[in-house]
Amino acid sequence: MKFVEPKVFLVGETRIIEDQLQDYLEHVGAPEWTSDAPSDAERLTEMLGRLCYRSFKPGLNPNVTRTREGNGPYLGHILEVGHGSVLEHAMLNFVFADVSRVFTHELVRHRAGTAISQESLRFVRLDSLSTYVPMHIKESEAGMEIMTRTVEHLEQVQKELAEAYKIDDEKKFDVKKKLTSAFRRLAPIGVATTIGWSCNMRSLRHVLEMRTDPGAEEEIRFVFAKVYELVKDRYPNLMGDYESTDVEGIPWLQTKNRKV
């Protein structure tokens, strides 16, 4: 039995295919267009936003006599006016490890602009149990004693079930799967597991705002605080408008550009 803290890995992000982008810019008549964007995600978002009005340079569309220069001001304007659909193009790919089923149940409620791969506890046997200790339990000697004893007991239950059903000697995979699924019903909802989560930048902003709110559950606040640490400097023009306030040691992210 182990007490663990959630871990966040940013394992992927959108990348521009340079020669194809250049071909499009030549096609539209703006081959000299460049951007000072600090990331491909922000450059792509700017480019697909400018595509709408052909605002790569003044005059390309006769109705456009001046254009907003710079990736920061351009994306800042998009956030201000709430043209959030442009933010849906760039995707990020995260792995959240050592998170509970409490956390994953809450995370998967965010449907728009996300993709999910969750560790299967029908296939992955719980031969040991790990869990996050919430702050109210951590602060209490009595709470810690009850939690430690209970998780140790439930881990022992998993071992006893494995022994009683001789699952290690079982050759048929479908039988092992059925048994593993039956055993997991006696694991706690706090059991640590892993989930892969991809999202677009618009969804990420919405989830950061909802799930770092002090009214949200502690573990998901903790995880999205870690997410914010990974994205705030990497995509400053898409994430730079957040004010962070410390609540119980976890940041609460607020912005005037709420839910773009």
Ligand X SMILES: Cc1cc2nc3c(=O)[nH]c(=O)nc-3n(C[C@H](O)[C@H](O)[C@H](O)COP(=O)(O)OP(=O)(O)OC[C@H]3O[C@@H](n4cnc5c(N)ncnc54)[C@H](O)[C@@H]3O)c2cc1C
**Residues known to be catalytic:** 211
Q: How far is the CB of 156 from ligand X (least distance, A)?
A: 33
β-pairing verdict for 91-100 and 243-247: unpaired
Using rule CB under 6 A, residue 101 touches ligand X: no
Within 111-130, the residues that bind ligand X by CB under 6 A are 111-112
Q: How far is the CB of 202 from ligand X (least distance, A)?
A: 8
Among 25, 30, 97, 216, binds ligand X (CB under 6 A): 216
Q: Which is nearer to ligand X, 50 or 226 (CB)?
A: 226
Using rule CB under 6 A, residue 88 touches ligand X: no
Give the binding range for ligand X (CB under 6 A) out of 106-114, 143-151, 179-187, 231-239.
106-114
- Please count the residues of this chain forming the interface with ligand X, following the rule CB under 6 A: 8
3-class DSSP string for the chain: CEECCCEEEEEEECCCCHHHHHHHHHHHCCCCCCCCCCCHHHHHHHHHHHHHHCCCCCCCCCCCCCCCCCHHHHHHHHHHHCCHHHHHCCEEEEEEEEEEHHHHHHHCCCCCCEEEEECCCCCCCCCCCEECCCHHHHCCHHHHHHHHHHHHHHHHHHHHHHHHCCHHHCCCHHHHHHHHHHHHCCCCCCEEEEEEEEEEHHHHHHHHHHHCCCCCCHHHHHHHHHHHHHHCCCCHHHHCCCEEEEECCEEEEECCCCCC
- Residue 9: which residues within 8 A CB-CB, separation 6 or more? 94, 95, 96, 97
List beta partners, residue 196: 95, 117
Using rule CB under 6 A, residue 62 touches ligand X: no
Q: Which is nearer to ligand X, 35 or 114 (CB)?
A: 114
Within 132-191, the residues that bind ligand X by CB under 6 A are none
Among 206, 223, 228, 241, binds ligand X (CB under 6 A): 206
Q: Which is nearer to ligand X, 37 or 204 (CB)?
A: 204
Give the binding range for ligand X (CB under 6 A) out of 50-58, 83-91, 107-115, 224-232.
107-115
Using rule CB under 6 A, residue 210 touches ligand X: yes
Q: How far is the CB of 110 from ligand X (least distance, A)?
A: 4
Q: Which is nearer to ligand X, 62 or 215 (CB)?
A: 215
Q: Which is nearer to ligand X, 50 or 206 (CB)?
A: 206
Q: Which is nearer to ligand X, 60 or 216 (CB)?
A: 216
Q: Check: CB of residue 209 under 8 Å from CB of residue 120.
A: no
Q: How far is the CB of 220 from ligand X (least distance, A)?
A: 8
Site residues (vs ligand X, CB under 6 A): 109-112, 206, 210, 215-216
